Amino acid sequence: MIHFVLLISRQGKVRLTKWYSPYSQKERSKVIRELGRIILTRAPKLCNFVEWRGYKVVYRRYASLYFCACIDPDDNELEILEIIHHYVEILDRYFGSVCELDLIFNFHKAYYILDEILIAGELQESSKKNVARLVAAQDALVETAKEQTGSTSNMIAQATK
C-alpha cells in the first residue's frame, strides 16, 4: 500500500502531496522536511529506494521534480517505480511535455489525474487511454459548467438593466 505521494522540486519546494494514511499536520511537515533532506542530498548514482521509519520510500527524478512514494516494507519497489512512471507519462500526455510550472498552475489537474490512477494507496487504473478519456470528460464538464454560468450571468445582467 502507498501511504503517501510527494512531488518535491530540486530546491525542496513541495509541489504536490497526497496522503493515504492518517498523519497530523505537524507529522506531515516533519515527514516532508525529513524526506526532502534525505532524497535531495542523495547522489544520482544511488538506487531509488530508501528505508525510512520502517517503511520504504521509492523515488524517481524527472527533470527538476522528485516523485516520491512511501510504501510498506514488503511491497514491490519496482511496481511503485512503474506506477510513478505511469503517472508521469499520463501527465506528459495531458500537458504535452509536462514541466514544473504546469503542476504549479494546474495543480487541480495533477491531483485529479493522480486520483484516477490511485485510490486509497492502491493502483486503480493502469490504462493510459482510460485515464485520458476520464480527464477529457472532466474537462468537458468544467467547460459546460463555465458556459452555463456565463450565460446565466448574462441573463441576470440583462434582466437588471
What is the gyration radius of the CA atoms in the chain, in angstroms? 19
At the topology level, CATH places domain 2-159 in Beta-Lactamase (3.30.450)
HSE-CB at 123 with a 13 A cutoff on CA atoms is 16
CA distances from 35 to 51, 63, 65, 91, 100 (A): 11, 19, 14, 23, 19
* pLDDT tens-place string over residues 114-147: 999 999 999 998 899 999 999 999 999 988 888 8
Furthest C-alpha separation in the chain: 68
Beta strands 55-62 and 118-119 are unpaired
Write down the pTM of the prediction. Answer: 0.86
Low-confidence ranges of the chain (pLDDT < 50): none
pLDDT, position 140: 92
pLDDT, position 148: 83
pLDDT, position 152: 65
